[in-house]
């Protein structure tokens, strides 16, 4: 699954701006470009912290918290909302049309989550090894996501939240995420344009939920410090390549 990402402001800005500039005029209903929310560079951020991160909607880029709280009447108070969002960092693409949390949102509340890259762990001989995955070229990935807005009736606070859609892993991600064999829904610029179009039919949306081409991705192992959530991990060097001899030897046979 996808629970940890990197968002470097320059990369995200370029990705978001390139995407927006590529939209056909009929989708651009506003003359001015959306303003990118001010966020710091996030070299490693976990969804379990429920951070507020930039998502691209049809006409705007705004901050939403990671971990969807559905506005379908099932979440009654803030305590329930906080528990609910622990379970909704990711939305499985194969069942997204059936799950109460997502079935309305996949039809009418689709968005894009731009990231510089993401992290995943590979298991080998009962030990987990962290990897950083990024585009083979370009500034970042556009992750297909869904969003919702939930109002806390006790305070009037409106909580805007999102979930990342996931798909079966491609061959590269099967090697890395070798237990559950999942990956985030990564969309090309062309598919991203379609993803945001209102009024898509169910079959049209389903056709977009597919594994990304592994040749457009690259990955490398990183420091074991990345696996310790109790340590501070939000620094540039956490993304640097790190060699594990046992993995190198294993790959030779």
CATH assignment of the domain containing 82: 3.90.1680.10
The pLDDT value recorded for residue 33 is: 53
For 246, residues 6+ apart whose C-beta sits below 8 A from its C-beta are 124, 125
Task: Give 86-149 as a DSSP string.
Answer: GG-SEEETTTTTTSTTTTTHHHH-EEEEEESEEEEEEEETTEEEEEEEEESSSS-EEEEEEEEE
Both tokens assigned to 75: 């979440």
Query: Residue 28 in 3-state DSSP?
Result: coil
For 63, residues 6+ apart whose C-beta sits below 8 A from its C-beta are 37, 39, 52, 53, 54, 55, 160
Overall residue count recorded for the chain in this entry: 253
The continuous run of DSSP H or E covering 19 comes out as helix 9-22
* CA–CA gap between residue 233 and residue 66 (Å, rounded): 19
> 116: which strand partners?
none
* CA–CA gap between residue 52 and residue 162 (Å, rounded): 10
User: Dihedrals φ, ψ of 5, to 5°?
Assistant: -140, 170
Q: How far is CA 45 from CA 6, 16, 62, 153, 233, in A?
A: 6, 19, 18, 30, 8
Long-range CB contacts (within 8 A, 24+) of 28-34: 28/59, 29/58, 29/59, 30/59, 34/59, 34/60, 34/61
**Residue 68's domain spans which residues?**
4-251
The pLDDT value recorded for residue 249 is: 56
178: left (phi over 0), alpha (psi -120 to 50) or beta: alpha
The pLDDT value recorded for residue 38 is: 77
Q: What is the mean pLDDT of each run of 10 residues along the chain (253 residues)?
A: 89 74 61 66 95 88 94 93 95 97 97 96 95 92 97 94 98 96 95 94 98 97 95 96 84 42
The pLDDT value recorded for residue 138 is: 79
Name the domain count of the chain: 1
């Amino acid at each position: 699954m996808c629970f940890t990402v990197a968002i470097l402001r320059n990369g995200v800005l370029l990705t978001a701006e390139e995407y927006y500039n590529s939209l056909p005029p009929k989708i651009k209903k506003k003359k001015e470009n959306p303003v990118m929310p001010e966020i710091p560079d996030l070299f490693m951020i976990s969804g379990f912290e429920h951070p507020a991160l930039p998502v691209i909607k049809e006409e705007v880029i705004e901050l939403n918290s990671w971990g969807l709280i559905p506005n379908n009447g099932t979440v009654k108070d803030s305590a329930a909302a906080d528990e609910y969002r622990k379970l909704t960092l990711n939305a499985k693409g194969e069942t997204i049309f059936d799950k109460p949390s997502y079935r309305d949102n996949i039809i009418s509340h689709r968005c894009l989550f731009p990231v510089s890259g993401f992290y995943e762990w590979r298991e080998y001989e009962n030990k987990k090894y962290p990897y950083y995955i990024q585009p083979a070229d370009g500034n970042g990935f556009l992750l297909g996501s869904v969003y919702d807005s939930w109002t806390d009736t006790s305070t009037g606070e409106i909580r805007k939240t999102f979930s990342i859609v996931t798909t079966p892993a491609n061959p590269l991600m099967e090697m890395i995420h070798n237990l559950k064999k999942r990956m985030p829904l990564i969309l090309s610029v062309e598919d991203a344009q379609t993803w945001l179009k209102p009024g898509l039919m169910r079959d049209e949306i389903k056709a977009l939920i597919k594994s990304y081409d592994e040749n457009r991705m690259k990955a490398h192992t990183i420091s074991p410090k990345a696996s310790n959530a109790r340590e501070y991990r939000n620094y540039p060097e956490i993304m640097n390549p790190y060699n594990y001899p046992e993995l190198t030897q294993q790959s030779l046979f």
